[in-house]
Amino acid sequence: MPRRTLLALTASLIFLVAPWLLPPFHVGIFAYAGIYALAAIGLVLLLQAGQISLGQAAFMGLGAYGSALVARAYGIDSFFTLIFSIAATALVAALIGYITLRLRGHYLPLATLAYGIALASSFTAWHDVTGGASGLDKIPPLGLFGYALTDDRLYTQLIWIVVLLAVLGLSRLRNSRIGRAIATLESHDGMARSFGIDTTVLRIKVFVFSAVLAALAGGLYVHLLRFVSPSPFALLTSFKLLIMAVVGGPSSAIGGVVGALTLESAQWALQDLLARWGATGNLEVIVFGVILVVMLLKWPQGLSPALERLLPKAKPRRSDGTPLSARTLPADRAESLLELKGIGINFGGLQALADVNMQLKRGEFVGLIGPNGAGKTTLFAIISGLLRQSSGTVTLFGGKMPDSHSIVREGMARTFQHVQLVPTLSVIDNVALGAYWRTSSGFMRGLLALDDAENARVLASARAVLRRVGLEAEAELAAGSLPLGKQRIVEIARALLADPQILLLDEPAAGLRFQEKLLLVKILRQLNAEHVTILLVEHDMELVMGCVERLVVLDRGRVIAEGAPKDVQANPAVISAYLGGARDKAA
């Protein structure tokens, strides 16, 4: 058995045995730490997706009140009322997520703050239903088929079983198809959509699952205490949960557990210590705040990454599956794959592109060149669906332009002018993102590890592509640790794994050393021989002239020349555009 697995099993056993070894008072603290850990784990997942929620405690309240009210009013087994309240919370979260998750920057946390306050206030305002500020008592203990779970030690053990299952599930999710997609949401939205990820839907799924964990935590809380009032689900608790997630570290689910245990134990220890010194008031809050600031300065990524560095390295995942099957491309060079007619786009008063016409036929190798600011990258963004033109039409594979996250399914993949890799993911995981559209395992299959066979096939395919581009040795390294030139090769590998008919390359040779450029040329010529249609934007004219069969030249948003490389190279308009660009730079 691997040492890392053995340590995880040992730690789990300690958590499950602890309730039977601790004094009764500490059993209660341990139970509350487990409840907060469960809600904080949901926030860790949100942070991994680049989302900040200040309403997590409100979802805890929905779970708690939903289960308590139904169990108290109708005498239904609280296990079933807990499921009901979680389902109801999921529906509310889906609605809120659909409305708010389109927001970016500081608007998103402000929106979650607003609904958090609104939901928490409703627990007090609906006095006739919720009991108002006084709360409700006589809530039945957690039970199923008439058996009530009244032993606090056994209940605490149940709480930690749920927490450990959540950690295991999210750890598995992190290494799955969906986990890789979630890692792109924080700052690589355009890249994610280019490879088939519907980022809006995925954000809502992450938000709903986080709310489900919070509702489950709230339900476990209310049936432990058997009393419910609005105060535990106020805004302060949401901040507390967020601090737990940040202190523990959002890089993995274990961060929620580490943060909850650290904060809960520190809070009770401080209260006890200050009480012995005769301190009154909320002095522990001040001391606690100072400790938190020191911890965040010392460990800005949280405590869990520091702990994980002490553990043995995890073994590489299975990549022994049968590689994914690739599409067979016809050799008919007369077929038009992409056609642009009258493309124009304005950014405010600036016209970036005007009346651009271009066609790509199957198997062509076309270069798109022009001085800086000519509009090449903007045109790429329109072709790949990340921007919508102000005028003109784009015809892709004979049909209407699909949504940006559906274009890769039609057979188009791309690289980016500025490298778009997830630096914290391994090289092989970044490449595996290219196969997102070619696989189907969803959120629940990733959580339950039911996607192992499919994931092994994806990793086998990714490793084969890395071998093709000469980077197999770097497969398990963090992508952010590679030099820029190799990162660009990784981007090309990811695009190749998408199995494209059309490959868009945006300055792939920038930052490459001489030997890497030779490898790039070899790869591109091989792809072209396999009938892959290539559109290349590049400033290395020697590379361009040695590879492409046709050139399109842009200047100030307009096509000024098109044809064979030798003819374009001698075109007076092209010479003037480049020399003019040089003079402008010199000026």
Tens of pLDDT, residues 32-44: 999 999 999 999 9
User: Residues of 318-331 as b/e, b for ≥16 C-beta within 10 angstroms?
Assistant: ebebebbeeeebee
The CATH homologous superfamily to which domain 336-586 belongs is P-loop containing nucleotide triphosphate hydrolases (3.40.50.300)
Domain 3-308 has CATH 1.10.3470: yes
Give the strand pairing for 502-506 and 533-537.
Answer: parallel
**How far is the CA of 240 from the CAs of 45, 163, 292, 584, in angstroms?**
16, 18, 11, 55
Dihedral-angle region of residue 507 (phi above 0 means left; psi in -120 to 50 means alpha; beta otherwise)? left
- What confidence tier does 584 reach under pLDDT thresholds 50, 70, 90? very low
Whole-number average pLDDT of the chain: 88
Start-end ranges of CATH 1.10.3470 in the chain? 3-308
Tens of pLDDT, residues 121-161: 898 888 888 888 888 888 999 987 778 888 999 999 999 99
For position 582, what pLDDT does the model report?
Answer: 41
Start-end ranges of CATH 3.40.50.300 in the chain? 336-586
Nearest to 213 by CA among 61, 51, 86: 86
CB atoms within 10 A of CB 33: 26
Can you give 457-510 as a three-state secondary structure string? HHHHHHHHHHHHCCCHHHCCCEHHHCCHHHHHHHHHHHHHHCCCCEEEEECCCC
Pair of tokens at residue 566: 């030798």
Tens of pLDDT, residues 317-332: 777 778 898 888 887 7
Average pLDDT over residues 187-215: 94
- What confidence tier does 431 reach under pLDDT thresholds 50, 70, 90? very high
Can you give 158-174 as a three-state secondary structure string? HHHHHHHHHHHHHHHHH
Nearest to 216 by CA among 42, 53, 445, 45: 42
Strands (E), 385-428: 391-396, 399-400, 412-414
C-alpha 509: how far from chain center: 28
For position 176, what pLDDT does the model report?
Answer: 93
- What confidence tier does 279 reach under pLDDT thresholds 50, 70, 90? low
Average pLDDT over residues 353-360: 93
Q: Is the pLDDT of residue 585 over 70?
A: no
Q: How far apart are CA 284 and CA 485, in angstroms?
A: 52
Q: 103 or 61: which carries more pLDDT confidence?
A: 61
Q: How many residues would you count in the chain?
A: 587
Tens of pLDDT, residues 250-277: 888 999 999 999 888 888 887 777 777 7
For position 282, what pLDDT does the model report?
Answer: 64
Nearest to 534 by CA among 400, 382, 360: 360
Amino acid identity of 385? G
Average pLDDT over residues 513-518: 88
Pair of tokens at residue 237: 């608790």
For position 552, what pLDDT does the model report?
Answer: 93
Nearest to 218 by CA among 241, 251, 242: 241
